Every structure is written in structure tokens, then in C-alpha cells.
Structure 1
Amino acid sequence: MIKTILFDVDGVMLSEERYFDASALTVWEMLYSPQYLGLKADSFTPAPVESDIRRVREEVFAKDEALNLIKARGINSNWDMVFLAFSYQLIRLAEALEPQLGSEVTSLLSGQIGREELAKLREWGASHAADFTVDYASFTPDFAKGTAQKAEMLLYLNQVAKERCRVDTEMFSRNSDLWQLCQETFQEWYLGDERVAASIGRETMQTGKKGFLTDEIPIVPPAEMIDLFRTLKEKGYTLGIGTGRPTIETHVPLTEMNVLEWFDPNRVVTASHVLEAEEEYPDFAPMSKPHPFSYVKGLLGLSAPNSEVFSFSLPIANGEEVLIVGDSPADFLAARSIGCKFAATLTGLSGQEARAKFEEVKADYILDDVRDILSILE
């Protein structure tokens, strides 16, 4: 009998669309802004109108083909998505420069890449590869050649660099300076100028970003979510959250919608808690989904030390008492690691098309949207 229900946020309560928009805009900025690679094929602005946002999103993720591949391989973090998409184009630029610059380019790919290294690539690109063209569509077939899953997808970039630039490198990983730069730049876009300092400890590098946090899109009307969570709480269920969103991006919109108050505050686990755990235990990184950390932490509570989370025996003995509700393969894999029940909502990126995938992996329940959860509970 289910006693505890842990919910994902994106694709379950809130639409992922603005997150994907921010991801695409981050890649776009890092390719075309003079503060990053400064490629000349497109013009950059920190305040694009909606039509430009739609164009950039369609181009960067190749009409969502790249997004579908990334999510199908178990990547649930928008920070990872940005890192994958941008790093791939960076490698292609290095490939275009290598015939003329040789070891200068390959040695750059062998070490950490931060703003100084991006400035070198910007200078070299202007001098030696002015006609370089970004090819967003090639990402999917290049990654489809390999079988990398989850965090291994980030490491697969090292293989791409070897094939394209004939360089042995281990730079491309979640522990790299470049990943950190992608993460911070994404936060600038999502939070905007007014809120970003509280998240990353500095102001935006490129001012003029208004952010998307006040422009969230609920999947079902907030009033109906409130009724659902109130009913579940009145029935005695313990409610928690395990999300890939940082804390501010979880608390602000759900509080404004009067939804957050129905969850046990000790069981609202966010990407901020994951990052803290990775800093405390770097040998365990990465811990974002499908790693079960966020959901195990939700089971034990934020008051439980991270050492207890890592030592907690999996699969759990009382798996039939815990239900995870999510929209992605990453959520499903985390639930299976824990040994608990899983309910898939068909309100993520793939919509109803995801039904066949969840049927194939034998998800315990498949729901049209989160409101249907009442139909599966005793």
C-alpha cells in the first residue's frame, strides 16, 4: 500500500517548454555572443522577442530531434543538455581550425576550457574559420552512432573530439570548467538579471535578460493541482518532490501557484541539494537523475546527512509503499534503482508518444496527466 509519493516538477506540474527555451538560448549565446565564441552567422541579443525564441529553439535542437535523443538516453538536466549541444559545436569549430593551427587547437582541447580559452577560439575563428557554419542537425546522427547512456553521454564528447580532431582528451565531463560555465549561463537566462546573483553568486555577464521564472506554464490549472494535493494530503499520503530544478526555481513558481504548501518541506529536494552533495562527495558525482539521490533524499528527508543517503540500502525493502511520479526515462530509472513503484505522466516533451516507451519498460502506471493519480490509489 502506497504511503509516500514523490513528484518530479517539470513535465508533471510545470511545462518544460521554458526550460528548453532557456537551454536553446544559452547555446545560442555561447555560440554567437562576442563574450563567448562570437561566431558571425547570427546576431545575438539578450532580449529576444518570442518569434526569435521560437526560431532559436527550433534550430538549436533540430526541431527537438536532439532533445528527444538526449532525454531518451536518460539525461534529465538542462545544464547537461546545454553542455552537450554547445560542446559538440565547439569541437566542430576546433575541427575546422585544426588543419591550419595544428597542436595549438588540440592542446586547447586537452585542458580545461573557460572564458580565456573561448576567447582564443573566438580569435582563431575570426582569422582562420570565418566561414565556419554551425550544424545543429549533425548532433543527433553523431551521437546515435554510440550507445552512451546517462552521464556517459557527456564523456562521449571526448570520443567525438578524438574522431574529429585526432586529440586524446578527458576534458569533456560534468566536472569541467566548461560545464560550470554552461550551467551559470543557463541560470542567467532562466532567472534573469534580478535573481541570478542569488543562484550563482555573481551578476549576469550579459545584462538585459528578464528571465523565465515569472513566465512558467502550468500543465494543469493550478486550482486543480491544489485540489489534487490537498486531497492526497487529507488521505494521509506523505508528499515530496525530487526535481532537477534548483531551489529558487522550484519554490518561487510553486509558491506563487499555492501548490508548494501541500508538500512536506523536509522532502522537497532540488538540484541545489544535488550540487551540494556533489561538492561534499565528488567521487559520487554526477548525482542528477537518473541517479536515485534526489528521491532517496526525499524519502529520508533533507535533515538526513548525505552520508546516510549514500549508505542507504537499495533496493528498499518497502518498495510497494513508495510511488515516484515523473515524465521521463530518467525518473523511471531512478525508481527502478530504488525498487519502488513508478507512475509515468504523458505530459513531458514527447506527450502521448511516450506511452509506447513506458509500456515497453513496464512502468507500473501510465497517466494522461498528474490528476489521474487518484485513480490508481486505494
Structure 2
Amino acid sequence: MKLAKFLDKYDTVIFDMDGVITSEQNYWNCAALTVWEYLNYNSGQKINAAECMQNISKIRSRVFSDDELISVLKGKGVNSNWDLGYVTVLIAWICNGKTDWNYFDKVLEYARSLSDNIIDEYDNLAIKCAEKTGFDYEWLKRNGTMWTTMRDIFQTWFLGDELFEKTFGYIPINTGKTGLLYKEEPIVDKNKLIAIMSLLSRNKRVCTGTGRPYIEMLPPIENWGIKQYFAQNGL
């Protein structure tokens, strides 16, 4: 393995994390688990975190219609996995009401009918959801209480109970989560990733440029044995 010639003119290589070093699969798993927990929670049912972890594939397949819903919403501009879960719940309630929400095929059909710039429709979705469910619009709107609660549930699934409490300073709503952060996989074969990083670090300064907080970035690169290849001030 050798470096491509065009890299000769650069002394620093900067990597994004998600979709470049790390796979996005765990984020989508977290989004699906968040939708599942939140809809159950608002129906008065408490989920079992351990059972959900064992059934991640089934839950994700059901919630996101074999990932078709992910593709549709991402294609319409949903760029945050927090928003992916939030929009899914709004549509589920619009289609089926707040007590009969688990027909996700209707959610996929509804999502396909939305405009290609879905971000402009967030307020409309919240208004329609308020009309359908009786929930307050202020509670439903983006960055309102509903959105914030779903964000925290997502972070609990991703970080796990212990790291969530350490980061946010309070115990999560529903405990028993070990953290999908510790189950992350690189987007390429791990041995190949190590070889690439090793080769780059011999003559280049290797750094990251990512929206991830440091506390979410460090565990995977430590677990995969590539932290040593990054510049000391490059993380």
C-alpha cells in the first residue's frame, strides 16, 4: 500500500468521522430505538432496554420500513438523526393517532408525499399532529419539549446510562442501556483502516474535523487501535 501522488502537496489530512471513518448504522439503530421507546412511552408502556437491544434489527426494519423511510427522509433534507426520529413520530401520530401509531407503512407513504425540502414542513407537521392528537403545538414543535425528550432518549441509547449521566448530569428516563457507542464499527475493514492510518501518519499530520463531541469520538478510535496515528492536537 502506498499513498496517492496527489497527497504529496499536503502535510495534513483531516478526516470526518461519520460516514468516513465510522459507519452510520449505529445512529440509525439509535433513531429506530428512540422512535420505538418514545411511542411506547407516550402510550403508557415502558420498554425493556435489554430486549430492545436483542431485537434492534427487527425494530429498525419495522420503524423505518426496511430503511426505505430513512432514504426518503434523508433525500428530502433530514440531515440530523435526532430529526429523523422526531419527524417519524410526528408522521406516525398524524397517520394513526396517538394510541394506534404502529402502522409504519402509512408513515412511509405519507413521507413520500411531502415536499422535497422537508425542513420547511416541520412546522406544518407539528400543526397537523396537534390537530390529530390534541397535543399542544408548542410541545410538538421542533426544539420543543417533545424534540428535546427524543434527543435525550437517542443520546441514552448511543452513550449508555453511565456516560449519559456523566455528560448531562441526570439519570435518563428509562435506564438499562449499555450504549451503542461501544458497538461501533469502522466503515472499512478494521485491519485496512489501521494500515491506512499508519501509512498516513508516517509523513502526514492526521487530524479529525467532526461535529461529534470529543466524548463520542474517542471510544471507537481507541477501541480500533488507531488513536496513536492522530496528531496530539489533531483530535
* Match runs of 1:91-240 below 5 Å: 91-92=94-95, 96=97, 132-149=100-117, 151-152=119-120, 154-158=122-126, 160-161=128-129, 169=137, 172-236=140-204, 239-240=207-208
**Where in structure 2 are there 5+ consecutive unaligned residues?**
1-8
Partner of 1:38: 44
Cα separation, 2, equivalents of 1:12 and 1:260:
15
User: Does the 8 Å contact 2:160/2:177 carry over to 1?
Assistant: yes
Structure 1 counterpart of 2:227, from 260, 284, 289: 260
Q: Between Structure 1 and Structure 2, how many residues are aligned? A: 227
Q: CA deviation at 1:83?
A: 1.2
- RMSD between aligned alpha carbons? 3.1
Structure 1 length-normalised TM: 0.52
Q: CA deviation at 1:63?
A: 1.0
Partner of 2:6: none
Cα separation, 2, equivalents of 1:150 and 1:198:
34
Cα separation, 1, equivalents of 2:151 and 2:94:
19
**Where in structure 1 are there 5+ consecutive unaligned residues?**
97-124, 269-378
Q: CA deviation at 1:241?
A: 2.3
Partner of 2:4: none
Cα separation, 1, equivalents of 2:172 and 2:200:
41
Amino acid at match of 2:78: I
Q: CA deviation at 1:182?
A: 0.7
Cα separation, 2, equivalents of 1:26 and 1:6:
31
Q: CA deviation at 1:140?
A: 2.6
Deviation sequence 1:317-365 (CA, Å, 0-9, x none): xxxxxxxxxxxxxxxxxxxxxxxxxxxxxxxxxxxxxxxxxxxxxxxxx
User: Does the 8 Å contact 1:85/1:139 carry over to 2?
Assistant: yes
Q: Which has the higher helix share?
A: 2
Bigger relative contact order, structure 1 or 2, given CA contacts below 8 A and separation 6+?
A: 2
User: Does the 8 Å contact 1:91/1:164 carry over to 2?
Assistant: yes
Structure 1 position 10 matched with structure 2 position 18? yes
Is the alpha carbon distance of 1:156 and 1:241 closer, same or farther for their aligned partners in structure 2, counting shifts above 3 Å?
A: farther
Moved more, 188-197 or 173-182: 173-182
Is the alpha carbon distance of 1:234 and 1:55 closer, same or farther for their aligned partners in structure 2, counting shifts above 3 Å?
A: same
Partner of 2:214: 247
Structure 2 length-normalised TM: 0.79
Cα separation, 2, equivalents of 1:76 and 1:190:
18
SS in 2 for 1:239: strand
Q: CA deviation at 1:159?
A: 5.6
Structure 1 position 58 matched with structure 2 position 100? no
Structure 2 counterpart of 1:81, from 84, 89, 106: 84
User: Does the 8 Å contact 1:197/1:203 carry over to 2?
Assistant: yes
Partner of 1:287: none
User: Does the 8 Å contact 1:193/1:211 carry over to 2?
Assistant: yes
Partner of 1:71: 74
